[in-house]
């Protein structure tokens, strides 16, 4: 049994935080990756031909694009529902709370370099009037654990299928084998961490505090980290019956992604593709999303990955690039909706970052 943790009143002194040099370097790296992505995007558009891409977009039409937007909205609803189920007594979030918060988080994640670093915080800030920030963050982390588990299985299955059905160079075989092994290892470690309730994060904070590092931040921050862990592990103990619904919603989220790819390909190709091709394209898209999330809208790299798979599957010239551009259009649409919600609520990036820093203190 874990000891009950009482959160102390934060110290009124203003702690001196170290300069975020690593974060600055990461920002520079993100900007460089973005510029490289833009160049890559321009190259693929030029190599495929703008006329071919526009013809594919024309085939989809406004009605088809509306369906694509609706499919993505359903996927957002599934994430919002999963998050709502990840909050437990005495706190509660309604679907009307989590849905706009997820849209806001997805918008920031797609819009700016390093958006993935503040996506979760932005969701918690969006519902801060309903639940304490630490509760919002812990419930988001719980939902992300389920998402990561299903995504890991989805990616591993896609990589395994791709590897066993195509002749690839040895370097690709080695890379994919390493990817599958790494994903399965992370899944196993995550499951063990939750089942055994390892408090590694708070233990590291305690050790740093005892060594005299970051004492201003960790004076109360280490207690918040322990509370954060207890909230996640408390969900595991108190609500095991919610596991299957949340897991099922995450599976449906990925299946809708496959269906979206299948629909787009059926409109831009003369011969409708099967589930297999759509599954491989979506699984590669998930891998790219994980690896290159620093790049806004995954510009360039998404087109490169989709083109690689479409050429391997012999779907036709430019199909992968057209697919990626169409999907990028729906991301732009929902990002615009997210930005409008941010403006309507009077939020700002500075406020979100400050809220996150306040919680650390």
- DSSP string covering 313-356, please? TT--TTHHHHHHHHHHHHHHHHHHHHHHHHHHTT--HHHHHHHH
Q: Exposure of 348 by Cβ count < 10 A (0-12 exposed, 13-18 middle, 19+ buried)?
A: exposed
For the chain, how many residues are written?
361
Query: What pLDDT does residue 257 have?
Result: 95
Please give the model's pTM, rounded to 2 decimal places: 0.80
C-alpha 280/C-alpha 294 separation (Å) is: 23
Question: Could you tell me which of 320, 335, 213, 199 has the C-alpha nearest to residue 264?
Answer: 320
Query: What pLDDT does residue 179 have?
Result: 76
Question: Largest Cα–Cα distance in the chain?
Answer: 67
Query: What pLDDT does residue 161 have?
Result: 84
Per-residue pLDDT of the chain (361 residues; tens, 9 = 90+): 444 444 343 343 333 434 455 556 666 776 787 788 888 888 888 888 888 888 988 999 999 999 999 999 999 999 999 999 998 888 899 999 999 999 999 998 888 766 666 888 899 999 988 999 888 888 898 898 889 889 988 988 888 887 777 777 777 778 777 877 887 888 787 777 777 777 777 788 888 877 777 777 676 667 767 766 776 777 777 788 888 899 999 999 999 999 999 999 999 988 777 888 899 889 888 888 777 777 777 888 888 888 888 888 888 768 988 999 999 999 999 999 999 999 888 877 776 766 655 554 5
C-alpha 88/C-alpha 231 separation (Å) is: 9
Query: What pLDDT does residue 33 have?
Result: 75
C-alpha 236/C-alpha 9 separation (Å) is: 27
Query: What pLDDT does residue 25 have?
Result: 67
Query: What pLDDT does residue 247 have?
Result: 92
Query: What pLDDT does residue 354 have?
Result: 64
Query: What pLDDT does residue 335 have?
Result: 93
Query: What pLDDT does residue 23 have?
Result: 59
Query: What pLDDT does residue 353 have?
Result: 64
Cβ(226)–Cβ(202) under 8 Å? yes
Query: What pLDDT does residue 38 have?
Result: 84
Query: What pLDDT does residue 114 have?
Result: 64
CB within 8 A of 292, min separation 6: which ones?
Answer: 33, 37, 298, 301, 302
Query: What pLDDT does residue 11 have?
Result: 41
Query: What pLDDT does residue 96 have?
Result: 94
């Amino acid at each position: 049994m874990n000891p009950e943790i009482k959160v102390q009143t934060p110290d009124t002194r203003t702690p001196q935080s170290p300069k975020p040099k690593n974060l600055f370097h990461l920002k520079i790296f993100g900007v460089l990756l973005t510029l490289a992505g833009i160049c890559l995007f321009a190259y693929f558009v030029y190599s495929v031909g703008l006329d071919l891409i526009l013809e594919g977009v024309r085939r989809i039409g406004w009605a088809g694009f509306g369906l694509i937007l609706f499919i993505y909205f359903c996927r957002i609803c599934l994430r919002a529902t999963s998050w709502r189920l990840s909050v437990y007594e005495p706190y509660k979030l309604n679907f009307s709370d989590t849905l706009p918060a997820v849209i806001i988080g997805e918008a920031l994640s797609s819009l700016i370099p390093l958006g993935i670093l503040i996506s979760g915080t932005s969701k918690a800030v969006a519902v801060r009037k309903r639940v304490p920030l630490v509760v919002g963050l812990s419930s988001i982390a719980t939902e992300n654990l389920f998402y990561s588990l299903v995504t890991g299985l989805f990616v591993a299955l896609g990589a395994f299928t791709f590897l066993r059905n195509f002749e690839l160079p040895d370097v690709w075989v080695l890379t994919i084998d390493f990817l599958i092994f790494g994903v399965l290892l992370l899944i196993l470690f995550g499951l063990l961490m939750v089942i055994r309730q390892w408090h590694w994060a708070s233990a590291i904070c305690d050790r740093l505090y005892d060594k005299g590092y970051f004492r201003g931040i960790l004076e109360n921050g280490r207690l918040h980290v322990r509370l954060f862990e207890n909230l996640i592990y408390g969900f595991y103990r108190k609500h095991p019956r919610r596991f299957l619904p949340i897991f099922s919603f995450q599976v449906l989220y990925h299946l809708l992604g496959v269906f979206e790819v299948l629909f787009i390909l059926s409109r831009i190709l003369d011969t409708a593709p099967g589930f297999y091709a759509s599954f491989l394209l979506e699984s590669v898209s998930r891998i790219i999303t994980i690896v290159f999330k620093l790049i806004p809208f995954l510009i360039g790299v998404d087109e490169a990955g989709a083109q690689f798979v479409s050429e391997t599957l012999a779907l036709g010239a430019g199909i992968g690039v057209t697919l990626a551009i169409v999907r990028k259009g729906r991301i732009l649409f929902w990002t615009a909706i997210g930005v409008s919600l941010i403006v309507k609520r009077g939020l700002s990036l500075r406020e979100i970052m400050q809220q996150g820093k306040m919680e650390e203190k």
